[in-house]
Amino acid sequence: MPYEDRFSLPLTKDNYQHMLRFIKETGFDGFEPTFHPEGLPSPTSFQKDSEILKKEADKLGLTIPSMHGGPLFWLFFGSKIKEERKKAVRLASQGLEALKIMGGDTLLVAPGRWYAGKSYLNLYENCLSTAKEIAEVAERYDLTVGLENVENKFLLSPREWYQFIEEIGNSHLRIYFDVGNVLREGIGEPADWIMDLKKRICRVHLKDYLIQERKIVPLSKGDVNWPSVVQALKKISYDNWLSAELPFPENSQQEFFYETCRAIKKIWFGNEN
């Protein structure tokens, strides 16, 4: 069973050392950095940045199993302009190289975005083309790319995701499933998605959401039916990392880490832990 916890957050050269100490001290086993122009690692210095993070993580006994692609892919992944789609592939290649340096195995990528006035069918074909190329790059690195279900108004049901992944036809590209985003977008129940997608899920983001207030909230403070989510994950024999992806507070940061780690363990283990 997935007993290891991880926190997803943006790191910078100014904050990474004390942030990683917080992560270690509050009970997490690892962390998921964000690939971002102003973060650590950054696309402009990803090799050096990745070595810095790996060294610090090793010193603290933390694992870096995955990396968040950040906002870099939103505009380029499904663009009608071929060169922009190629940019998404290049960014993915850089991210995968950075991940390899850090010892991880899964890169999270947002698979395009639909907006009014844009052909959904054309977007689908453009995203499929980009995804196939990125999957080939991931295969060369022997790593996995996890496409996340995000607030992009694209791939809005398990059926669409199933078809999309099957058309790619490469096990190095799967789904990075965000539990809370299903409620956030009003497209069903997370447990039902899990049961439909099964082994196409490579990783899981934990996020809670209050439907009436339309607000992301701390874990177990929202409307996610966590017992049904855990039951579904166990039914599909999910045996990998669990990552919290939540808004980061300006104050009481260490307390936030503690409470989030406790919530993850309670969600998964219940009264066992």
CA distance 162 to 102: 30
Q: Which tens digit of pLDDT belongs to each residue from 64-111?
A: 999 999 778 888 999 999 999 999 999 999 999 999 999 999 999 999
Q: At 148, is the pLDDT very low, low, confident or very high (cuts 50, 70, 90)?
A: very high
| Domains in the chain, CATH or no CATH each | 5-272 (3.20.20.150)
What is the average pLDDT score of the chain?
A: 93
* Residue, of 115 and 250, whose pLDDT is higher: 115
Q: Which tens digit of pLDDT belongs to each residue from 209-233?
A: 999 999 999 999 999 999 999 999 9
Q: At 117, is the pLDDT very low, low, confident or very high (cuts 50, 70, 90)?
A: very high
The whole-number average pLDDT for the span 251-258 is 88
The whole-number average pLDDT for the span 28-32 is 95
What pLDDT does 271 receive?
Answer: 57
For residue 121, is pLDDT > 70? Answer: yes
The whole-number average pLDDT for the span 4-12 is 64
What pLDDT does 7 receive?
Answer: 54
The whole-number average pLDDT for the span 245-249 is 86
What pLDDT does 83 receive?
Answer: 97
